[in-house]
Amino acid sequence: MSRAKATGRNKNVVEVTNLNVSFRTATGVIKVVENVSFSVAKGECLAVVGESGSGKSVSALATIGLLAKNQAIVEGSVKFLGEELLGKPESYMRKIRGGGISMIFQEPLSALNPVTTIGEQIAEVLVAHDRGNWKTANAKAIEYLEQVEIAQPARRAKQYPHELSGGMRQRAMIAMALAGEPELIIADEPTTALDVTIQAQVLDLLRRTTRERGTALLLITHDLGVVAETADRVAVMYAGQIVEEGPAATLLRKPASPYAIDLVSSIPSYERRGKGLSTISGNVPSPAHFPTGCRFHPRCRFAVAACAKTMPQLESTGGGRAVRCLRADEIARGARPTSTAKRAAAGGAKRPVKSPAKRKAAR
């Protein structure tokens, strides 16, 4: 199947507009992703960040059509190289997956076939997308393993997933993703199971190879350290919505939404040494019990009464940035966190009260 290329006139490889995802459950239909919009250009990396349960992975799986159709209701628009994907038959989507769009999963040991060699799995991608017969595909698989800097690629191609280290398995997953010569790679928490040193190597490899090939990269992660090293732009998600987006360097240096401010503050840094780690009180709400108004207001340090009543819209603030917060302008001008009484009036969580013994010890 032939496919168009991203051109200078239409450089966006993927454009997602007003994506809504709901799931059918025993208690009814529950919406988990609401009006999510983003685009990724040729050679660009967009990182979608947020805590577990924020809707990051569901949004990515909906983009590539991997949600079970008997359970998920997906609405909105997903355009790949200008062509609408939502509503396409499964036979068409199978050609897109691995060819036009590839996905790198979080845990390669469970994503790879345990009874097929690494080389055969890469060759299978090539054959499935008409990139040669099995003989040429097996030879090409070794070349892809070499491109992702796996030592002794001919030997590794004959090995099974359990015979490789975690870092090698993830490199093999990247090789499989590249084998289809995709226009877009979706990487869902690609380094979570790796130690810090291997994580840095895999991220560098992934970003370098996608830039060299002009491949768009959609990176799903909860790790802002990964974002700082890899992303060009960031979309911050909370409770199924994008709450802030903008250039990575700008957003990480000066976040504008209360949730992004707290996320960035929780990153350990040399500048804040000795001050302890900042945390966000509470948990991401269940989609079945999203609060009224701003979904972050029960945990927000800046919440006021209006936050519990009015749902803020994602509004542009210039410079390629957008923020979902009723008090964004006030916070930008230096507004301080609200008092405990005001937070309680807004339905927010109170700060923990110290016991008399702890107060005495603190004195």
d(CA 144, CA 179): 7
Position 290 scores a pLDDT of: 96
Position 341 scores a pLDDT of: 46
d(CA 167, CA 62): 27
Angle at 213 between CA 93 and CA 146, to 5 degrees: 95
Position 358 scores a pLDDT of: 42
CATH code, 12-238: 3.40.50.300
Divide the 363 residues of the chain into consecutive groups of 10 and give the mean pLDDT of each group: 51 96 96 98 96 95 94 97 95 90 88 95 90 89 93 96 93 92 93 81 89 94 88 97 97 96 84 75 94 97 96 95 97 85 55 42 43
d(CA 287, CA 237): 13
Position 194 scores a pLDDT of: 79
Position 2 scores a pLDDT of: 45
Going by C-alpha positions, the residue among 31, 13, 25, 26 that lies closest to residue 75 is 31
d(CA 160, CA 158): 7
Give Cβ neighbours of residue 206 (< 8 Å, ≥ 6 apart). 104, 174, 185, 187, 190, 217, 230
